[in-house]
Structure 1
Amino acid sequence: MPDHNQTAPGELEVVRRFINTWSIPNDTREKTDALPELARTREVWRKEFPHQSRSRNDALGRLLRLRADLRSACQGDSSSEDALNKWFDSAALSVKTRWIGGAAKLTIESSEASFVGYIVAIVANAIASGEWARLKTCPDCQWAFYDHTRNGGKRWCGMTKGGPDGRACGTIAKVTAYRAREAMKARVT
């Protein structure tokens, strides 16, 4: 699926790409899961996440649970709070001071040397900075996107097709709602 300026800032983009290892492609509209293949083949993993290697703590089951919990959190599911807190506990997070341009900045790091620890630390930093609230999933195609709008109110991955294979999830949802309203009006009159 095209990004249409859906990329997240900084390292949060790695989290977005990780979440999008599960998707519903526009051409087939059938759920696909690339994570098992990524976890099975080092070369494929390195191609998708070139700067983040996996460790023994990054078993497929653990990666699948993390991705599901992150996807749930992006959807605004209130039950994801407990799941995220468990991930924060398991990743042994700590706060560090970094001097950037003469100013102190706090960053959250994981002492767990794993991809999971790396992802969990990024999520914790994004929550602390307020960026996490802008990482969302489309209610139609489930694609994770970063909301760059001024008010942070974007709901769908896109309103325009963005090419011959694109899908305008927002437009489709609005047309569906319009048709439902019109059908209701027709029944009432």
Structure 2
Amino acid sequence: MTREFEFVAGSLSLNLIDTVATRTNAPTELLAVPAQFERWVNAAGFEQAVRIDADRLAKARGLREAAHGVLAAVLAGDTPPASAINELNDWARLPGLRAQFVDGKVVMTSADPFEAVLATIAQDALLLLSADKRDRLRRCPGCDMLFFDQSRPGKRRWCSSASGCGNRAKVRRHRQRHKLQDSS
């Protein structure tokens, strides 16, 4: 059974980072072949068809790891690696998607859809470094997933992914409370 892509991290770049599941224990690569990245791009809502070969997949995974390196360092209070910042900046400089009104609807176009997708992802990652967004970056204590806290009070702790990290913690606390009550 293959794991489906989740889009619960609150940000395009964080959703791409999440295509490596459980980075700390036994990492699972969800973008192992080019067709998987094509599926991810489509599931992420990009309308233009993006054709991926092994070289382009390697570039997408390189961007993903650069974004992870930068955002994980920021979360840890460390200085992000200069090479990762440079990679994000290089991708972000490329032309992104452009809105066009065609046949009564807005469509997003670009000369090179692949580069536009990666430029959009890189720009998203860089915007997470702004002061107002950086304070809402989180790491799930259950699965280590990075996410952007969009809750009103800004106190979300869990990833709310299919792995159910927050739910498992609540169940544990509930059982512990009842265990203590039963033993008294």
TM score, norm. by length of structure 1 = 0.53
Among candidates 14, 17, 23, match of residue 16 of structure 1: 14
Q: For the residues of structure 2 that align with 1:129 and 1:54, how far apart are their CA atoms? A: 35
Q: Which ranges of 4 or more aligned residues in structure 1 deviate by more than 4 Å? A: 54-58
User: Root-mean-square deviation (CA), in Å?
Assistant: 4.5
Q: Is the 8 A contact 2:66 2:85 kept in 1?
A: no
What's the offset of the Cα at 1:154? 3.5
Number of residue equivalences? 146
Among candidates 28, 32, 50, match of residue 28 of structure 2: 32
What's the offset of the Cα at 1:49? 1.4
**Corresponding residue of 2:40:** 48
Q: Equivalent residues in 2 for 1:105-184 (5 A)?
A: 113-128=115-130, 130-157=132-159, 166-168=164-166, 171=169
Structure 2, unaligned runs of 5 or more = 95-111, 174-184
Deviations 1:130-159 (A, max 9, x none): 33542433243122322123453444325x
Among candidates 56, 66, 90, match of residue 59 of structure 1: 56
Q: Is the 8 A contact 1:16 1:135 kept in 2?
A: no
1:130 to 1:157, Cα distance in 2 relative to 1, 3 A: same
Give me the identity figure in percent.
18
Q: For the residues of structure 2 that align with 1:171 and 1:128, how far apart are their CA atoms? A: 31
What's the offset of the Cα at 1:116? 2.5
Q: For the residues of structure 1 that align with 2:149 and 2:87, how far apart are their CA atoms? A: 24
**Corresponding residue of 1:82:** 82
Q: For the residues of structure 1 that align with 2:54 and 2:88, how far apart are their CA atoms? A: 15
For 1:85, the aligned partner's letter is I
Structure 1, unaligned runs of 5 or more = 95-110, 176-189
Deviations 1:148-173 (A, max 9, x none): 23453444325xx98xx63338838x
What's the offset of the Cα at 1:18? 0.7
1:125 to 1:170, Cα distance in 2 relative to 1, 3 A: same
TM score, norm. by length of structure 2 = 0.54
For 1:90, the aligned partner's letter is D
Q: Is the 8 A contact 2:149 2:156 kept in 1?
A: yes
